[in-house]
Amino acid sequence: MAERVGFIGLGIMGKPMARNLLKAGYSLVVHNRSRGPVEELAKEGATPASSPREVAEQAEIVITMLPDSPEVRQVILGENGVIEGIRPGCIVVDMSTISPIVTKEIAAALAAKGVSMLDAPVSGGERGAIEGTLSIMVGGPKETFERVLPIFQVLGKNIVHIGENGAGQVTKACNQIVVAVTIQAVSEALVLAAKSGVDPAKVRQALLGGFAQSRILEVHGQRILERNFKPGFKARLHLKDLGIALATGKAVGVPLLTTSLVHEMLNALCAAGREEWDHSALVTLVEELSHTEVRAAAT
């Protein structure tokens, strides 16, 4: 019989992830700060809970999907938190993107109570969460990973156990560097094409067949051409993630020069009031500096 799962954090990513677990037949207990998503999933068969502690009291495996380190620390270690309700032998899986240092702190506190933890941040955005095709990067004990693997297989396709606690978060920081820098590169390339009088849609098509091909060019390049900045991943969250990457780099002595530049671009994007836009909206800053807008040529 499948273990009962608790899910805390039903936002853009968390709600479709929780829904996929319900569809797969898992008994699910859910909690969220705002009640709307809880009530929505309750109609689909989930059991609502009024606090993280209540979730932990009813589940063997508790998943958190929250915005940042302070929220994860509060939900797991705070008053009425997961640690007050969870029992020895159970598991906490944090699928948020947070600081590796905070991850290790939380894992140690849970271990003192006989509870194992995995840090399992994801990549793939809202689309990947809905379709169950997320990339999942996991840190924590191997035996715990193997116990949770069937759940991960419902939520994602590329699932890699990286190492001990914190390793998943370091991997996600690396992922966010590559994604952000590539969005910036694609933005600059398409604006250059448009300003030069060349159809950016055809430039994208040509680049997709060569060494410059990437998932970012494919998906976000199309977003840019369509002027579709509805958030699959919000700019303010990527700003936060690059802050984690920069702090990690500073802690271990790795200069992240290009990351710093794109971090400031994201900071400028958020300061311009576009913090809730998709991170592909980085192109709008390049456009404004160039006095050029990227659009496919009329056919």
Q: Which of 15, 172, 234, 240 is catalytic?
A: 172
Q: Which two tokens stand for residue 80?
A: 């009425």
Residues 6+ apart with CB under 8 A from 123: 134, 135, 137, 172, 175, 179
Bridge-based pairing of strands 61-64 and 91-94 is: parallel
Is residue 128 a contact partner of residue 95, using CB atoms and an 8 Å limit?
A: no
Answer yes or no: 202 catalytic: no
What secondary structure does DSSP assign to 197-253, as a single string? T--HHHHHHHHTTSTT--HHHHHHHHHHHHT----SSBHHHHHHHHHHHHHHHHHHT
DSSP label at residue 296: P
Is residue 292 a contact partner of residue 191, using CB atoms and an 8 Å limit?
A: yes
Is residue 137 a contact partner of residue 122, using CB atoms and an 8 Å limit?
A: yes
* Active site residues per annotation: 172
